[in-house]
Amino acid sequence: MLTYKAFKGKEIESVILDLAQLRIIVFKDYPYLYEGTVAHEKEYLSTYINSENALLFSVWDDDKMVGATTCIPLSDETADVQEPFIKAEMNIESIFYFGESILLSKYRGLGIGNRFFEERENHARSFGTFEKTCFCSVVRPENHPMKPENYQPHDIFWTKRGYQKDESLQSQFDWLDINESQSTIKPMVYWVKNI
């Protein structure tokens, strides 16, 4: 039976290893192709632990984390996430940033993806001070050699949830792809919704 658990701020540290391992598994797939390490994950996730208003909403099958999603005030995020919004002269204090939304393939198609968005949006609304929510997704070339033949991007799902891709808001993140010997820069584009 699946159970749901929420963790805020420092509480996230209690399940950081579960979350790190889940991120490494899910993000190894296209389009992220991420060759992750637990050490790098712990460093990345420290941003969420250090924000008292960050939320981790997770799904468990018995004692195994099988899905998770995070969100955090944009003002508590790292400078590289904030940068495109600052350049666009948007008020980062009024924006809530959605981090990962990850789920093992066996558990997809059960409505959990919608639940993830609802939990994060409700969390952002609960403060009464945020006007927008956003997240980013990696941009890969259409002819990428590792793109699966039946690959379907999540664009339609995100649009149905009320998000709009804003090509003017982009970041550059670097990570090690599977089959690479060194990390490379990847463009990330943001999706935004008024709440």
| Confidence class for position 151, pLDDT limits 50, 70, 90 | confident
| pLDDT tens digits along 48-89 | 999 999 999 999 999 999 999 999 999 999 999 999 999 999
> Hey, what domains does the chain have and what are their CATH numbers?
2-194 (3.40.630.30)
State the pTM of this model. 0.95
Rounded CA-CA distance 91/93 in Å is 5
Structural tokens at position 162: 């009320």
